[in-house]
Chains A and B, each alone.
Chain A
Amino acid sequence: MSTTSVLPVDAPGSSAFTRPEDGIRRAYRAEVRKLSSQIVIRVVALLCLAVPFIFAALLKVQSGAPADTLYGVWVHSSGFAVSLVVLASAGAWGVPLIAGAVAGDIFSSEDRYGTWKLVLTRSCTRSDVFVGKLLAAATFVVGLQLLTGLASMAAGVLLVGAQSLVNLNGTLFSPGHSALLVFLSWLTLIPPAIAFTAVAVLLSIATRNGILGVIAPFALALAMQLLLLVGTGIWSHLLLIGAAVFAWHGLFNVHAYLGPLLVGVAVSVIWTVVCIDVSWALLRRRDFAGTPVSRRQGWGGPVRVVVAITAAVALIAIAGNWGPAGVTAKRLRTDLTPAFNQLTVLQQRELGRHVPAGAKLTLVLPTCNRRGSVPYGPGEWICTIYVQTPSPGALPSQPTAVAYDVSVNWDGCYKAQSPPAFIGQQMMRDAHGHNVVNPLYTIYGCFDPL
């Protein structure tokens, strides 16, 4: 060890004894550099970029479509639908996975490597390091989520095309309007993504266990998706981050409704604030006294976390009927009728038949009944639409009953499918001889449950 330079002795109050400003910025930059150096993060980024293209390419070479997902049947008709299908999966599963991979180990890795004592003895305070890590994790999670969004839009447009998108009322959004709405939809994932990040951070700090921190956000998302299937009330559902990831549905109505979106943002903020507060309280009071033997070998911490999560899930499940039912026969009936009307017009135009502007079918309001013990709430419904179709020699025209099996989610989004007797097959040949999706075969719709 050569010792050549001279170290001056400074007095207190000189620069050597003054902590530099911008501790958070310095901690943030250091953390960003660490994260970008990790192989796991690089692999996740690669997947975020590649998976949408792989998905779009697979759709390109096969005729099937993920019809159970909102906009699933439209993936061959518009590249924007490809992005929306990716968005639905990303919201439910992708974002929790990304949040876990990025933030679930961001604090516990310091325990694993034994580097807390290295970081906390520099010129950044404990709160600087905490906020810096938090911001870096949020940056990466949001960045990777937007990367997925942009990649899915690019994949859809490049491999399927930038065609107009059918909205949830049965009319067409122009390509530009569609692109804007799809991009906005990806932006709506940011608040829940940050909330999942905060959950991952909390688990990372509380358990000091990287594996639990990475896996638990995904497990929590899974539990939330299951809880969304339970009960008929809307309040407990709205309290879940898992609900906020679907709040973009309201944007795709002609008259967009923003209630669920605003509630989703508020709920995400609450989850974020609570998780961050608890995380900071744990980190702030922690003694970095090495790793006690009991913590190294014990399962106490993880078990406590699992028990707490299970108890919370059970509580929310019990509260599943809390609040008014968002899904009622009236709301479903009122939403399905104009959608059916508009999609019929769209179908006729695609078939090359002349439909005057403002033309409407003569419809009798449908009847909608829920299959189940109660006549409201999400689940399986059957709606019968009566269409007045003119028959040669028959006056007045006779109503034709079209029965739709409707699967309705708690948030008012539904998928309605009918046997092809009246509405035709899933694919039809348009006026130009192309095989296109029959708009009436599967009807997607959403109504405001609030």
Chain B
Amino acid sequence: MAALRASGIVKRFETVCALDSVDLALETGQVRGLLGPNGAGKTTLLRVLFGLVAPDAGKVELFDRPLEWPESDALEGVAGFVEDPSFYPYLSGRVNLELLAELDGRAGTAKIDDALARVGLAGRGDDRVNGYSTGMKQRLGIAAALLREPRLLLLDEPSAGLDPAGVRDMGELVRELAGHGVTILLSSHQIVEVEGMCDSFTMLRRGRVVWDGTAEQLRAQAPASAYHMHCSDDARALELAGQQRGVRATPSQRGGLALAVDLGVLDSYVLALGSAGVAVRRLELLASPVESMFFALTSDSERPRNEPPELAELDRRALAGT
């Protein structure tokens, strides 16, 4: 059974087409990454799926129940948040959750305590939300979603504002929920953060789906990882790259070399450099295969700040199989 099926979703805001014939389907238990640069339409799509925005065309079914606008029963079993979770700042985190539980008809102190404990806010639940950090609000947003005991979780940039430990905990939570059959749609433009959590991906660019498939399909189609390398002899390293199958290298404008290479091949290349007396002084991963795919598919989107311009050419060549 499909937990979510959206087809032909179109949404325009005045002259801007935010969503252009978007199709999206999630089977029960799937964890799908909804990826795209800022302005790709991810948040608008989530707003449509939550019934907050009525599409100009298309239809949505949640667990085979049609979602109607402006109000629908189809949202039962669905939870999550859009953009940053917002709460009533003059109330405590606990009272905010109590209000939401009241709206859900699921009031119960034990559930709220459990939800606060799950997200690590057990000790701060009685503090007013206006004293919360961004990360704490994000955690409270997760708690608010968990209160609904969702079967479908729609999360918009769930790791935004979280510290590294929080990001790790978020990943564990997502995996545990998925392990219990909860279907999850994770929206993000930070592909690294969701890469390990998702078993499938949908990529959006300018309101259109530009890629959709499983993680395996993505990795199979993805170009090599991109690295930046500083070594003791660039010319010799370039020469060795030319001799090594699967290694593409080009001089970088900021010094050193830009590489496009799979991880397994990279190991043998580094060993070959060592054998040839070339010392590797720094090797920096610029983009994983999935990231490379993401950047390639959304080529006019933002790229890592430290990415050398040569990488675009590497991506292009890698995607073209040259």
Query: Judging by beta carbons under 8 Å apart, are B148 and A114 in contact?
Result: no
C-alpha gap A20/B142 in the complex (Å):
22
Taking CB as reference atom, which chain B residue is nearest A18? B76
Residues A117 and B87 in contact in the complex (CB < 8 Å), given A1-B139, A124-B103: no
Give 1 or 0 for each of A1-30: 1 = CB within 8 Å of chain B CB: 111111111101000111111100011011
By a CB distance below 8 angstroms, the chain B residues around A314 are none
Query: Is B151 part of the contact surface with A, judged by Cβ < 8 Å?
Result: yes
Which of B63-71, B200-208, B262-270, B298-306 is near enough to bind chain A? B63-71
A-contacting residues, B144-203, CB 8 Å: 144, 148-149, 151, 166, 169-170, 172-173, 176-177, 180-182
Question: Is there an interface contact between B71 and A127, defined as CB atoms closer than 8 Å?
Answer: yes
Q: Does A125 contact B (CB under 8 A)?
A: yes
How far apart sit A414 and B162, CA to CA, in the bound complex (Å)?
69
CB of B51 within 8 Å of the partner chain = yes
Listed stretches B115-123, B276-284, B287-295, B307-315; interface member: B115-123
Q: How far is the CB of A101 from chain B (nearest CB, A)?
A: 15
A10 to B114, CA, bound (A): 20
> Closest chain B residue to A121 by CB distance?
B50
Partner of B77, one of A1, A3, A16, A26: A16
Beta-carbon contact of A122 and B148 below 8 Å: yes
Interface residues of A in 23-63 (CB under 8 A from B): 26-27, 29-30, 33-34, 37-39
B30 interface hit (Cβ, 8 Å): no
Whether the Cβ atoms of A1 and B119 lie closer than 8 Å is yes
Any chain B CB within 8 A of the CB of A311? Answer: no
Of B64, B73, B79, B151, the most chain A CB neighbours within 10 A belong to B151
Whole-angstrom distance between the alpha carbons of A302 and B148 in the complex? 38
A3–B172 CB distance below 8 A: yes
Find B86's partner among A3, A27, A115, A292 (CB 8 Å cutoff).
Answer: A115
Contact A117 B83 (CB under 8 A): yes
Cα A22 to Cα B169 with chains together (Å):
36
CB distance from A39 to the nearest CB of B (A): 7
Q: Provide the main secondary structure of the chain A interface.
A: loop
Is the CB–CB distance between A288 and B52 below 8 Å? yes
- List CB contacts (< 8 Å) of B57-96 with chain A: 63-65, 70-73, 75-91, 95
CB <8 Å contact, B151 and A16 = yes
Query: Closest Cβ of chain B: how far from A71's Cβ, in Å?
Result: 41
Question: Would you call A16 and B117 a contact (CB within 8 A)?
Answer: no
Interface contact A37-B50, CB-CB below 8 Å: no
Cross-chain contact of B52 among A16, A117, A285 (Cβ < 8 A): A117
Residues in A neighbouring B182, C-beta threshold 8 A: 7, 9
A430 CA / B53 CA spacing, docked (Å): 74
Choose among A9, A289, A290 the residue that contacts B180 (Cβ–Cβ < 8 A): A9
For the complex, count residues of A whose C-beta is within 8 A of B: 50
- CB proximity of B28 to chain A, nearest CB, Å: 7
Q: Is B99 close to A, CB under 8 A? A: yes
A38 to B84 alpha-carbon distance, docked (Å): 23
B95's contact among A2, A37, A286, by CB below 8 Å, is which?
A37
Residues in A whose Cβ lies below 8 Å from that of B44: 289
Judge whether B120 and A19 touch: CB under 8 Å. no
Contact between A2 and B118, CB atoms less than 8 A apart: yes
Q: Contacting B104 at CB < 8 Å: which of A20, A29, A34?
A: A20
| Cα distance A119–B102 in the bound complex, in angstroms | 11
Contact of A123 with B by CB under 8 A: yes
**A residues at B contact (CB < 8 Å):** 1-10, 12, 16-22, 26-27, 29-30, 33-34, 37-39, 113-127, 284-290, 292
Residue pairs across A and B with Cβ atoms less than 8 A apart, 20 shown, are A1-B166, A2-B118, A5-B114, A7-B181, A12-B1, A12-B64, A12-B65, A17-B77, A21-B105, A37-B90, A114-B84, A119-B103, A121-B51, A121-B81, A122-B148, A127-B71, A286-B70, A289-B44, A290-B43, A292-B13
Q: 20 new A-B pairs (CB below 8 Å) besides A3-B118, A114-B86, A289-B13?
A: A1-B170, A3-B176, A3-B177, A7-B149, A7-B181, A7-B182, A9-B29, A9-B181, A10-B77, A20-B104, A26-B102, A29-B102, A33-B95, A34-B88, A113-B87, A118-B86, A120-B52, A121-B75, A121-B79, A123-B105
